[in-house]
Every structure is written in structure tokens, then in C-alpha cells.
């Protein structure tokens, strides 16, 4: 932590406490004249405290608030509220990115489209303005003015990587997942913009906790560079019901933890303020997770890993995602993709090394399978299943993996970056229901959703 960070922290201490310290508002019988010496002592104590524990967040959820958001839509986002607070993860209050995000939020809230007939013909703007929903010259001029005022950049256009693994490789964040936590995080689909901002869906397997029924959760990891204006806002209901605390992860990173304590809600965030950007992790679940489960999730992510900036040239240099891959001696081949209404079915053939047995044998109580946590749904699906079937060739070392997913209405014409990890044989008649990992690896396929 440098001097600037320290004074940024001091600048967000409640002003009344600074004034009390500065003027020595204590009982006269005990203290007479402390004034400036007391303030100096407080500053020294704060400096020593901050120096000893890296970054201590003097700011919190309230310092991410852009403004109030009213709606008459009723049960928005399942909260059953009509009043919300809009927050940003572009930056903390006072930073250029925060001020720009607040001005853009206020502009959008007050913006009134011009003449209806004129709006019927939308002008065409460069693709990098699409993320900001710019559909008029007035909105473009306002956005350009805000960017120039705070010397910020647009998000840019999304870069099309062949797979999530390829995107993570280009960003240099493969090592962000750690193995020193009781929680296990797995990436799903992701998106990366030219500016270097990116989003990653993830699933997290949580250790059991007597205070919660949650054993897994899902969420999104966001990386926002501080020189970029990210227009995305999130709505929070009942900010006063949120608990906030600092936590030092197992990899030595200081993060800000925030979660709602309101009954019936389960949203949570983990925030790490880095010199070059803000890493935020949004966790969603059907039931609340505990403080310890949140901390274990933070331990599973090394937030000190610095993402690289990427370019279109980086994308073009990435090898295409193969539809056949061999890992640990096991070859997986994409056989077919079928669409029936809103259900997509993917069949992947598996060939084990010669002599290996991956057949289904009820007499031995043995079956070959993919564990439920070792594959991912497409981003536009909320439900699916995975199973194994005989491929009909009579060989013990071949099987078919059959995966189905229910695609949400109107969410087709996308790419499913399917990832399968580790193959196992299950022995369900064994007293301990043993599962034996027979192949370690990650097999990835690019599945077009028609």
C-alpha cells in the first residue's frame, strides 16, 4: 500500500470522527488540549495498521451506489420490491470510472427520446457503442463527452475465442483457480472485450456447513479495468440488510466480502480492488451461504493474478477448437448435435486405450460416467443432464456420452463451449461406493446451437 492508498482510505472515514479528533471533544476534566497531536496520532495509527495488513477497505457497498432506481414492475429480480439502489463495479466513489458511470446512469435515467418519427430510423453507430445501447446521436454525444471528461475508454467489441480455455489462456488467468481451498470453482462460458474487461460464468462446489443447506452455487466473475467505462449496473434491494467485512485469502489477498442477510435472499459479492482494475465475484444461490463458505470461495480464486490485455490478433492466433481431443490416452469425438424444439442433444464418442474396460456391467456394479460437476451447461440454459449409453460396436473400451440441455426461448444462435473434465468408473456395489478416476484431463468442444 502506498501513501495515496492510505489517504484515499482516510478520506472515507466519517467526517464527524475526524472533526472530533481534530478538536478534542472529550470531557474537560480528563483531557485539556489534544487537537492536532490527537489527529496526528490517529493518522500514524491508521498508517501502521494499513501497512501491516496490506489493503484494508474503508469503503463498502454504499461507495458503489450510483443512485436510486424505482420501478412499478413489482417482483423485479424476485425481490418483491419497487425501490432499489443501483450499484457499479467500475470503481469506488471518487474514482474517474465511478464518476463517469454515475453520470452515464443519471443521463440514461433522465433521457427522453426525441421525435417519434425520427426515432423510427436509427442511425448506425460503430459496434463498440452497442454495449451502451446507444441508438441516437444525442446518446452518443453524451457518452463521448463523459469519456473525454474522465479520460476513459469504451469497452470495445467482444472478441470471439474458440473456447473458454482459449480465452483464459490469452488473458493469462489459467492460474487464477487455486487448489488450497475446500471450495472448488469451475469456469463455464465467458466473454472478453477489446478493452481487456471480461466476464466468466462459474460453478462452485461448497463444503458442508451446519448453518447452511448450500453445497453448491453459481455466479459470475467480472474484471473491470480502471481506464474503461463499464456501463453495467446491478440492483440491490435493502442495502441496510447487507453484511460487509474484510478477509485475507489463503493466497494473501485482501478482499471485501458482502452478502445480504435478509431472509429469503441469497446474493453475495467478493470484491478485490487492484491498482489496474476491480475484480468482483457475484455469487447466486437458492439458499444463503455462510460467511465461511464465502471465504472458502474467495480462497479458491487467486485475485493477485494480473489479466493481460488482448487484441483481435491474439484471437486470430488461437488454434481452432478441435472436435476431437485425446487426453490421458482417452479420445473423445463429437459425433452429433441434434435440436428438438428447445432441447439440444450432444453425443460424444469415447475411446479408451485398448484393454481398458469402460462398459456398463450390472453384475459387477460398475459404470463409466462423467460426474455432474465435471461438465457445463450452455449460458442460455438452466437445466440439463448427462448420461452414458452403449455405442453399439460391442467393444468394452468404447462408449457414448449423451448430454442434453434445455435452451431458453429466443436464446438460440449461440455457441456452447462445452467442457468435460476427468472420466471415472463408479462401483456402486462397493461398501464405500467407490469412484475411480480413470482419465485426468479437459476435453473441450465448440457446439453451435441452431
Task: Give the pLDDT band (50/70/90) at residue 293.
Answer: confident
- Burial 78-90, CB ≥16 within 10 A → b, else e: ebebeebbbbbbb
Whether the predicted model's global pTM rises above the 0.85 cut:
no
Task: Give the pLDDT band (50/70/90) at residue 245.
Answer: very high
What mean pLDDT, rounded, does the chain reach? 76
- Give the residues across from 350 on adjacent strands: 332, 399
Predicted confidence (pLDDT) at residue 309 exceeds the cutoff of 50: yes
Residues with Cβ < 8 Å from 241, sequence gap 6 or more?
260, 261, 262, 265
In the structure grid, which three cell numbers stand for residue 130, read together? 452497442
In the structure grid, which three cell numbers stand for residue 45, read together? 495509527
Dist. CA 132–CA 274, nearest whole Å: 25
pLDDT in tens, 22-39: 333 333 222 222 333 333
Task: Give the pLDDT band (50/70/90) at residue 398.
Answer: very high
* Rounded (10°) angle between helices 137-150 and 96-110: 160
Predicted confidence (pLDDT) at residue 347 exceeds the cutoff of 50: yes
55 and 273 in contact (C-beta within 8 Å)? Answer: yes
Comparing 57 with 417, the larger pLDDT belongs to 417
Predicted confidence (pLDDT) at residue 243 exceeds the cutoff of 70: yes
Predicted confidence (pLDDT) at residue 200 exceeds the cutoff of 90: no
Local structure of 139: helix, strand or coil: helix
Task: Give the pLDDT band (50/70/90) at residue 391.
Answer: confident
Predicted confidence (pLDDT) at residue 194 exceeds the cutoff of 60: yes
Predicted confidence (pLDDT) at residue 81 exceeds the cutoff of 70: no
Task: Give the pLDDT band (50/70/90) at residue 101.
Answer: very high
* Rounded (10°) angle between helices 15-23 and 35-52: 130
Q: What per-residue confidence (pLDDT) applies to 17? A: 31
pLDDT in tens, 247-291: 998 888 889 999 887 766 668 899 999 889 999 988 877 677 888
Neighbours of 391 (CB within 10 A): 16
- Sheet strands side by side (includes 242-248): 158-159, 184-193, 198-205, 216-225, 277-284, 268-273, 254-260, 242-248
Residues with Cβ < 8 Å from 305, sequence gap 6 or more?
172, 173, 175, 176
Q: What per-residue confidence (pLDDT) applies to 261? A: 76
Predicted confidence (pLDDT) at residue 310 exceeds the cutoff of 80: yes
Residues with Cβ < 8 Å from 102, sequence gap 6 or more?
66, 67, 88
Q: What per-residue confidence (pLDDT) applies to 376? A: 83
Dist. CA 358–CA 368, nearest whole Å: 5
Amino acid at each position: 500500500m502506498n501513501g495515496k492508498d492510505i489517504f484515499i482510505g482516510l478520506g472515507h472515514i466519517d467526517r464527524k470522527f475526524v472533526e472530533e479528533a481534530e478538536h478534542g471533544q472529550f470531557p474537560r476534566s480528563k483531557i485539556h488540549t489534544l487537537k492536532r497531536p490527537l489527529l496526528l496520532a490517529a493518522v500514524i495509527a491508521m498508517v501502521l495498521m494499513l501497512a501491516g495488513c496490506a489493503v484494508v477497505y474503508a469503503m463498502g457497498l454504499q461507495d458503489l451506489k450510483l443512485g436510486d432506481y424505482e420501478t412499478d414492475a413489482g417482483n423485479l429480480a424476485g425481490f418483491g420490491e419497487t425501490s432499489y439502489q443501483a450499484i457499479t463495479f467500475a470503481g469506488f466513489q471518487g474514482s474517474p470510472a465511478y464518476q463517469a458511470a454515475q453520470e452515464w446512469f443519471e443521463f440514461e435515467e433522465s433521457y427522453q427520446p426525441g421525435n417519434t418519427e425520427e426515432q423510427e430510423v436509427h442511425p448506425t453507430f460503430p459496434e463498440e457503442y452497442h454495449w451502451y445501447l446507444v441508438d441516437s446521436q444525442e446518446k452518443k454525444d453524451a457518452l463521448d463527452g463523459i469519456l473525454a471528461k474522465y479520460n476513459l475508454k469504451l469497452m470495445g467489441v467482444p472478441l470471439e475465442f474458440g473456447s473458454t480455455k482459449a480465452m483464459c489462456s490469452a488473458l493469462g488467468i489459467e492460474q487464477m483457480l487455486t487448489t488450497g481451498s475446500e471450495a472448488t470453482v469451475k469456469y463455464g462460458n465467458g466473454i472478453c472485450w477489446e478493452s481487456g474487461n471480461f466476464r466468466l460464468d462459474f460453478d462452485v462446489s461448497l463444503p458442508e456447513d451446519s448453518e447452511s443447506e448450500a453445497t453448491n452455487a453459481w455466479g459470475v466473475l467480472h474484471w473491470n479495468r480502471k481506464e474503461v467505462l463499464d456501463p453495467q449496473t446491478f440492483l440491490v434491494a435493502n442495502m441496510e440488510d447487507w453484511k460487509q467485512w474484510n478477509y485475507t485469502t489463503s493466497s494473501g489477498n485482501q478482499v471485501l466480502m458482502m452478502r445480504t442477510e435478509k431472509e429469503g435472499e441469497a446474493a453475495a459479492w467478493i470484491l478485490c480492488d487492484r491498482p489496474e482494475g476491480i475484480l468482483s465475484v457475484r455469487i447466486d444461490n437458492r439458499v444463503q451461504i455462510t460467511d465461511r463458505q464465502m471465504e472458502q470461495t474467495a480462497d479458491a480464486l487467486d485475485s493477485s493474478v494480473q489479466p493481460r490485455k488482448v487484441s483481435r490478433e491474439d484471437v486470430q492466433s488461437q488454434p481452432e477448437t478441435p472436435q476431437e481431443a485425446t487426453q490421458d490416452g482417452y479420445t473423445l469425438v463429437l459425433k452429433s448435435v441434434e435440436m428438438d424444439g428447445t432441447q439440444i442433444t450432444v453425443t460424444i464418442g469415447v475411446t479408451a486405450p485398448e484393454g481398458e474396460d469402460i462398459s456398463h456391467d450390472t453384475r459387477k456394479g460398475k459404470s463409466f460416467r462423467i460426474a455432474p460437476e465435471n461438465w457445463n451447461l450452455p449460458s442460455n440454459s438452466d437445466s440439463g443432464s448427462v448420461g452414458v449409453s452403449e455405442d453399439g460396436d460391442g467393444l468394452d473400451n468404447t462408449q457414448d456420452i449423451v448430454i442434453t440441455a434445455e435452451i431458453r426461448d429466443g436464446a438460440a444462435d449461440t455457441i456452447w463451449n462445452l467442457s468435460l473434465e476427468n472420466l471415472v468408473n463408479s462401483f456402486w456395489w462397493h461398501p464405500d461406493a467407490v469412484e475411480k478416476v480413470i482419465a485426468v484431463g479437459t476435453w473441450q468442444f465448440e457446439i453451435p446451437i441452431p
